[in-house]
Amino acid sequence: MSEQAPDGSIARPPTERELLGDRAFRGLTFGFAWFTILLVVLIVGAIGWQAWPVLQRFGADPLTSDKWDGKENFGIQPEIWGTVYSSVIGVGIGSLLGVAVAIFLTQDFIPPRIEVFIKNVVELLAAIPSVVYGLWGIFVVIPFIRPSCEWLHGHLGWVPFFGTRLSGPGVLPAALVLAIMVLPTVSAISRDAIAAVPPKLREAAYGLGATRWEAIRAVILPTASRGIYGAIILAFGRALGETMALAMLVGNSSTLSWSVFSPANTLAALIANKFPESSTLERGMLMYAALVLLAITLLVNLAGTVILRRARLFPQGAAK
């Protein structure tokens, strides 16, 4: 746009070539936007295609069997159990901490400057790579919790959760590290949900004589509940698919047990550990496990996204 028109203005209508370029560029962006949708289809297709031969041969049997010999039997029931069990414990602990942080950072407990500091620290938790958490889990978490676990097993061994000894890796260390990894997700999304509660609701509660905790429990948390549930479900989706920290900490043993000290296995850890030295048939079976994992995580993420969208579109407690 350097050439000037006779009247001194730099404005001029676009040339034929520029209009053509405009149409091409618009088409390009449209194409890439569509490609994002295509990616989801492509992922489902590529994994489904690799799993197809095994799916045809075994049907749904592997879902309910716990035998794996690499030739005839491919049972992934223990892995499905381990995935869900470790995620439930991890997300349970992580949500408790995450929601506490979210409340602590939004309800004027501390000066704003410290609020920002804590928020940044918790966000940095999300930045640490999962393989580093795995290394930390092996050398810090397991030795640290071992004495308490021994005590619990010794004194409360009749409780199914403490039924076995902690031999090293196991469900509990894996779940604790998972809790730390999902904490930033829970706290960030819950914080947004709590911050979106109209201030007049809180003021009204205080005006009626509620203490700070009563206002939080009876007014603020129920109003923000949809957002918080959405956060927890999304965190659950993350936990289900988390691989490295679990592959390093969960023990990689196909065990079905209620004990949190027992070694176990998860779908993602199974794939990561077995893949490098697997036969063709076994590789197909791992793709089957990948397909199951994909289905579970897609469903959970879908639910979380939909809940959060509803929470945003129809905020509770807002003036009608």
Partner 1 sequence: MSIVTAEQRDEHKVDLPQLEKSLRHVRTLNSAIMTVVIGGLSVLAMVPLASVLWMLLRRGSERLSLALFTELPPAAGMSGGGIGNALLGTLEVVAIATLISVPFGILAAVFLAEFGPDTKTASAVRFCAKLLTGLPSILAGVFAYGLVVLTTGTFSAPAAGVALALLMIPTVLLTAEEAIRMVPARMREAALGLGATRTQMVLRVTLPTALPGILTGVMLAVARAAGETAPLLFTALFTDYWLTANVMEPTPSLAVLIYDFSGSPFPNQIEIAWAASLVLVFLVLLLNIGGQVLTRRHLRK
Taking CB under 8 A as the rule, does residue 2 contact partner 1? no
Residue 13: is it exposed, middle or buried by C-beta count within 10 angstroms (0-12/13-18/19+)? exposed
Closer of 224 and 268 to partner 1 (Cβ): 268
Closer of 42 and 318 to partner 1 (Cβ): 42
Q: Give residues 192-231 in contact with partner 1 (rule: CB under 8 A).
A: 209, 211-214, 216
For residues 44 and 290, the answer to whether their CB atoms sit within 8 Å is: no
For residues 107 and 216, the answer to whether their CB atoms sit within 8 Å is: yes
Phi/psi for 68 (5° steps) reads: -140, 110
Closer of 149 and 286 to partner 1 (Cβ): 286
Taking CB under 8 A as the rule, does residue 147 contact partner 1? no
Tell me how far CA of residue 174 lies from CA of 56, 108, 244, 251, in angstroms: 34, 34, 10, 9
Q: Give residues 155-184 in contact with partner 1 (rule: CB under 8 A).
A: 180, 183
Interface region with partner 1, contact rule CB under 8 A, candidates 70-78, 131-139, 145-153, 158-166: 131-139
Taking CB under 8 A as the rule, does residue 298 contact partner 1? yes
Taking CB under 8 A as the rule, does residue 1 contact partner 1? yes
Closer of 10 and 319 to partner 1 (Cβ): 10
Select from 61, 63, 67, 128 the one that contacts partner 1 (CB under 8 A): 128
Long-range contacts made by residues 55-58, C-beta under 8 angstroms, separation at least 24? 55/288, 55/291, 58/288
Q: Give residues 258-297 in contact with partner 1 (rule: CB under 8 A).
A: 268, 271-272, 275-276, 287, 290, 293-294, 297
Select from 84, 100, 145, 281 the one that contacts partner 1 (CB under 8 A): 100
- Min dist. Cβ of residue 13 to partner 1 (A): 5
Taking CB under 8 A as the rule, does residue 56 contact partner 1? no
d(CA 128, CA 124): 7
- Min dist. Cβ of residue 24 to partner 1 (A): 8
Residue 301: is it exposed, middle or buried by C-beta count within 10 angstroms (0-12/13-18/19+)? middle
For residues 261 and 162, the answer to whether their CB atoms sit within 8 Å is: yes
Select from 4, 61, 63, 96 the one that contacts partner 1 (CB under 8 A): 96
Taking CB under 8 A as the rule, does residue 299 contact partner 1? no
- Min dist. Cβ of residue 224 to partner 1 (A): 15
3-state SS class at 158: coil
Closer of 159 and 302 to partner 1 (Cβ): 302
Segment (H or E) for 272: helix 267-274
Select from 164, 190, 223, 243 the one that contacts partner 1 (CB under 8 A): 243
Q: Helices (H), strands (E): how many in the chain?
A: 12, 0
Tell me how far CA of residue 52 lies from CA of 208, 210, 270, 290, in angstroms: 63, 60, 19, 12
Taking CB under 8 A as the rule, does residue 13 contact partner 1? yes
Interface with partner 1 (CB under 8 A), residue total 93
d(CA 195, CA 220): 9
**Residue 87: closest CA among 293, 269, 298, 239:** 239
Select from 80, 87, 227, 242 the one that contacts partner 1 (CB under 8 A): 242
For residues 169 and 250, the answer to whether their CB atoms sit within 8 Å is: yes
Q: Give residues 23-52 in contact with partner 1 (rule: CB under 8 A).
A: 25-26, 28-30, 32-37, 39-40, 42-43, 46-47, 49-50
